[in-house]
Amino acid sequence: MRLLYCGEDGELSVTADVVDEDAIPRYAILSHTWGAEAEEVTFEDIARKAGKDKPGYRKIQLCGEQAKRDGLQHFWIDTCCINKANKAEHSLAIRSMFCWYRKAAKCYVYLSDVSASPLASKAEASAPLWDSEFRESKWFTRGWTLQELLAPGIVEFFSCEWHKLGNRVSLKCQIHEVTAIPYAALEGAPLSQFTVSERLGWKQDRHTKLKEDAAYSLSGILDVDITPVYGEGAGEAFRRLHDEVRKLEACLRDLRPTDPCNDKRRIEDTKGGLLEGSYRWVLENSSFQQWHNDPQSQLLWIKGDPGKGKTMLLCGIINELRKTIARTASVSYFFCQATDSRINSATAVLRGLLYLLVSQQPTLLTHVRKTYDQAGKAIFEDANAWVALTEIFANMLQDSSLGTTYIIIDALDECVTDLPKLLQFVAQGSSASSRVKWIVSSRNLPHIEGQLVQAGHQVKLSLELNAESVSAAVSIFIQHKVSQLAQQNKYDTQTRDAVLGRLTSNANDTFLWVALVCQELEKTAKRNALKKLHSFPPGLNALYERMMQQISMSDDAALCKQVLALTALMYRPITLEELVALAEPLEDIADEVEVREIIDLCGSFLTLREATVYFVHQSAQDFLFTKASNHVFPKGPEAVHRAILSRSLVLLSRTLHRDMYSLEAPGVPIDDVQPPEPDPLATSRYPCVYWIDHLYDSKYKSQENGVGDLQVLGIINEFLKTKYLYWLEGLSLCKSIAEGVVSMARLCSLVQMRDADELTKLVQDARRFVMYHKGAIDSYPLQTYASALLFSPTGSRIRRLFQHEEPKEITIKPMMGSGWSACLQTLEGHNNDVSDDVTSVAFSHDSMKLASASWDNTVKVWDASSGACLQMPNIGTAVYNLAFDSTNSFLHTEIGTIAIHSSGTPSEAVIAEPERPVYVGTSLSPDNLWIRLDGSNMLWIPSEFRPSYSTVCGSSVGMGVGSGRVWLCSVVLADARIHS
């Protein structure tokens, strides 16, 4: 980036190209309409100290003078700060423009067709004299105007005489009426808050001198990056733009395990709403103030016992930070919940934080895309997800474009999986950047303190040591709840005061206790309120004990206990439909209202939000396992797991079948699939994903005499023989094929410990089947019955069992061997062109990594177990003789040493693919992944069957494969049959 400045001699000069973003000084930037080419001052003019006689020189002077008045020594103008003779520089400038406008201290809009007198009275009752000219200015019709209007933090408008007309906020009414851009966007709301279609709508009838710029000018608005290729035409430019948008949306969709914003709203709703008076005390607390104001205090740890209001405290802090942060700052947060396997792991925390971070600061998404574009969503889910995510996060924290950022993690103690890794990450990450401040909360647990103490810049805020403030906050909460009760149940003054006094004396500064008691009082008539109130003992555990006694004495005691046991062992919160299906006695209750009544009877433990059952608090689930285990699990948790397993397989056997969503076309991608209404998988989604987990935790092998073992094994054997392919389709429709692969590995390990030879062989074959065909089934559900079957060995047990599901259109099948090859999975990623053959491969010394080099000048490093691509550096030349060093951290090649990271730097070059002929009937897809018929995808081709060379003649496709195999596909159009 080059900037203009005025030298001591008064002459305009341009800086050298500043590559280091941290070295770029504060600057102003100009937005304007171009005159004729000959009128504008160019980069060459400035370099030669020429151009003063051109009409465009005056606005440069005016811009520089205004910048100086605003305390800015440097400014930027597109006409003369870009060396357009250098095509690479010009291309980079086009791609960087949005970022340059966004980082400018001020943006001046020079409206050469708007005239305004400085003497015009500001007190005029009517619109200013220049108002109509302003609305009709040519500036509003430019394509590039969108980014110049919306990217900067401050935008000021000037007339042709350089009289200030106002700024983007003061003129938002006029701008909104002219452009239809929402007020929120004009006031500085992040563009990511608006949908893609909304942002595309803002372009309206804008015009650009070069037709391709109509697309390029929208890239920053849509948070994507496309390389300019002038001459490609507007149609191709927009196609590439939309492709990038789709990739970005796919990346964000795959990144997030859940939306933390939705979790926050749900938590607040579950707890009865966020009461400002119950958290404001923390904002004035000395520890909080030290963390907030001291640059050396990067980490605040809020700790306290269960029910003390830590979560709601953090919700309040998040809201307050959002009110005060600048436009370039962001708040990223995550709420751990032990009862939900989707949000109780260290990787889930990082994914949620990254999702919010890149949503607010889209330029940071490049760090995610570098890895995601090569490895896909597996990078967020496989065995190396933690390694990849921590490196992505570390790179973001060092990114010079990162604004002030607050990272908040609630309930560290509820991180069930890999908590030590998360604690170490927090301790180290909180010292990585001075622009990032951290807040975490947890219970008072020594092992958490032992890890966080490694962060020498931490501040502790103990709720027990701030008992007076917490007590005052609880008192405000009690007054609020009692006021609600008095209004709802029509308490008289005496009853109201009695309830207030009893709650205040017994609350022990615990929000949760108050909330649970008030929940019971809501259902109690005024005449019984005091009697009921006196029956509640102080203390959470004592209260839970009383509630359990109440449940035990109810007419529905057995049913309530079964519901509690079942929900306590679920790996995620379940819907009412799933609960009714899994709790067999509930099936006899046809009325949903009655089912809700059962949940209501368990109200001190469970709550219902949007037809999903949740625990009211982690302490409620803890109580069931520690204090009420004999009531809820009389035969042990394993027995409940076995019951869930049995019920799951019954449900799945009943609901799974081919083409459950009536997709019909075999090439329908999963991203285009919408569940029908009613959803045939509504009751089966949970068992579809988790039945093997319940088998694993049922410890079925410990049953007496092995009788139960044989029954379970027999049921599983029958299920796999009759429903396995339909289960894989179900997993694909649930977007959970990755979980299915892991589950089959667990099942394989379980059955191998038993004397069940036939079942063992079936499970092993089923596991190989899903591992080999994961890519096709994951992306295209119905390829389960096409590509997966046809490209499996003829001796595969799964293929033989489901041969009746093979596509009827295929009469001559690909020639396959009888057994699975030694290849466990294929690592895809080097280009398919014959000139991109792999030139070298090497294992790391621990056999955990595999490196491969190709003629396309790339070196890839793979995780040997998961197949995830860890790195893709382009090194500019073909490589032979790869070898890992002794630490497995570097690769030695004949041209140098390559460091191993979990992401690489893909080449920036854009190489236009050669045009391919278009065939009306039979053809290959442009990417060689599909055999097509009349433009529709029919058969997905596994990697080793994809052509290095291909030819199409009439209805036949001939393919030569790198292994030396040649095969032929022929489609008879009359009856749409494929012969291969």
Is the link from the previous residue into 807 a cis peptide, with omega within 30 of 0? no
Q: Is the pLDDT at 956 greater than 80, yes or no?
A: no
**More confident site: 874 or 229:** 229
| Three-class HEC string of 17-35 | CCCCHHHCCCEEEEEECCC
Question: Which of 348-362, 739-753, 833-847, 944-958 has the lowest average pLDDT?
Answer: 833-847
Under 8 Å CB-to-CB from 627, ≥6 apart: which residues? 541, 544, 545
pLDDT of residue 348: 94
Which stretch, 43-52, 157-166, 263-272, has highest mean pLDDT? 157-166
pLDDT of residue 944: 73
- Share the mean pLDDT of the chain: 84
**More confident site: 708 or 33:** 33
Average confidence (pLDDT) over 482-502:
92
Average confidence (pLDDT) over 947-971:
59
pLDDT of residue 919: 39
Where does the pLDDT of residue 186 fall: very low under 50, low under 70, confident under 90, or very high at 90 and above? very high
Residue 801 and residue 721: Cα distance in Å, rounded? 6
pLDDT of residue 70: 94
Please report, for residues 519, 594, 601, 634, the alpha-carbon distance to residue 604 in angstroms, rounded to integers and kept in the order given: 8, 18, 8, 21
pLDDT of residue 866: 46
pLDDT in tens, 776-804: 999 999 999 999 999 899 999 999 999 99
Average confidence (pLDDT) over 211-220:
92
Residue 351 and residue 328: Cα distance in Å, rounded? 21
Overall pTM > 0.85: no
Residue 523 and residue 345: Cα distance in Å, rounded? 37
Where does the pLDDT of residue 756 fall: very low under 50, low under 70, confident under 90, or very high at 90 and above? low
How far from chain centre, in Å, is Cα 604? Answer: 33
Q: Residue 409: which of 512, 264, 572, 230 has the closest Cα? A: 264
pLDDT in tens, 328-339: 688 999 999 988
Alpha helices in 507-556 (DSSP H): 511-522, 526-534, 540-553
Q: Residue 378: which of 894, 742, 880 has the closest Cα? A: 742
Residue 75 and residue 505: Cα distance in Å, rounded? 65
pLDDT of residue 863: 57
Q: Is the pLDDT at 821 greater than 70, yes or no?
A: no
Question: Which of 299-308, 318-327, 799-808 has the lowest average pLDDT?
Answer: 318-327
Beta-strand pair 330-335/299-303: unpaired
Where does the pLDDT of residue 977 fall: very low under 50, low under 70, confident under 90, or very high at 90 and above? very low
How many other C-beta atoms lie within 10 A of the C-beta of residue 399?
17
Q: Is the pLDDT at 902 greater than 50, yes or no?
A: no
DSSP 790-809: HTS-TT-HHHHHTGGGS-TT
Could you tell me the strand order of the sheet in which 574-575 lies? 574-575, 612-615, 606-609
Where does the pLDDT of residue 951 fall: very low under 50, low under 70, confident under 90, or very high at 90 and above? low
Q: Is the pLDDT at 68 greater than 90, yes or no?
A: yes
The proportion of the chain whose per-residue pLDDT surpasses 70, expressed as a percent, equals 83
pLDDT of residue 838: 57
Question: Which of 122-126, 489-493, 496-500, 657-661 has the lowest average pLDDT?
Answer: 122-126
Average confidence (pLDDT) over 733-739:
91
Q: Is the pLDDT at 86 greater than 80, yes or no?
A: yes
pLDDT in tens, 667-726: 999 989 999 999 999 999 999 999 999 999 988 654 444 445 778 888 999 999 999 999
> Which tokens is 430 given?
């909180």
Q: Residue 684: which of 812, 578, 533 has the closest Cα? A: 578
Residue 764 and residue 747: Cα distance in Å, rounded? 9
Q: Which DSSP helix (H) or strand (E) runs through 612? A: strand 612-615
pLDDT of residue 356: 93
Average confidence (pLDDT) over 43-68:
91
Residue 770 and residue 820: Cα distance in Å, rounded? 12
Residue 790 and residue 386: Cα distance in Å, rounded? 36
pLDDT in tens, 888-900: 666 666 556 666 6
**More confident site: 332 or 825:** 332
Where does the pLDDT of residue 125 fall: very low under 50, low under 70, confident under 90, or very high at 90 and above? very low
What is the length of the chain? 980
Q: Is the pLDDT at 517 greater than 60, yes or no?
A: yes
Residue type, 23: A
pLDDT of residue 915: 36
Where does the pLDDT of residue 967 fall: very low under 50, low under 70, confident under 90, or very high at 90 and above? low
Q: Is the pLDDT at 848 greater than 80, yes or no?
A: no
DSSP for residue 701: G
Q: Is the pLDDT at 409 greater than 90, yes or no?
A: yes
Where does the pLDDT of residue 291 fall: very low under 50, low under 70, confident under 90, or very high at 90 and above? very high
pLDDT of residue 797: 95
pLDDT in tens, 103-117: 899 999 999 999 987
pLDDT in tens, 268-286: 887 778 888 889 999 999 9
Average confidence (pLDDT) over 212-231:
91
**More confident site: 925 or 479:** 479
Question: Which of 59-73, 678-692, 748-762, 966-980 has the lowest average pLDDT?
Answer: 966-980
Q: Is the pLDDT at 101 greater than 90, yes or no?
A: yes
Where does the pLDDT of residue 925 fall: very low under 50, low under 70, confident under 90, or very high at 90 and above? confident
Q: Is the pLDDT at 911 greater than 90, yes or no?
A: no
